[in-house]
Amino acid sequence: MGVYVSIRGWLECDQKQLAAIREIISAHDDDHYSRGWGLPRQQFNWTCYAFYGGDIRELAVSWLLDQLAEIARIPASDEDGDRVRGLFLASHEVDGTSEWQIREGRVLISPADDRHRYLDA
């Protein structure tokens, strides 16, 4: 059956960046794990959010991380200089939970804080 990783989290961006995120997700569409993405049907107010949630095989984690790395590199689209940012928790069946921070144009991975341990139960 294989080893699975439960991944859940979100990205914060502006409307122009969301359009670029949609393109990246579409370019990586695998007609299976891609279904874990949740995007707003219509923008309201100023911050857009994109969500991902799913249990994926360990071998597919790089597929998602590649997308997130590409998304992280999306440039700021206005004078504020805000890049795409976000937070994901990845609960590995064997290795425990890690935190994926999307910020400053990169994906930073570190062990998750103990306060998130309840999610592994």
| pLDDT, tens only, 68-98 | 999 999 999 988 889 999 999 999 988 889 9
CATH of domain 4-120: 3.30.70
The stretches in the chain having pLDDT less than 50 are none
Element (H, E) at 86: strand 85-92
Amino acid at 23: E
Task: Give residue 119's pLDDT.
Answer: 78
Task: Give residue 57's pLDDT.
Answer: 95
What is the distance between the alpha carbons of residues 24 and 66, in angstroms, rounded to a whole number? 10
Task: Give residue 80's pLDDT.
Answer: 87
User: The pTM is what?
Assistant: 0.92
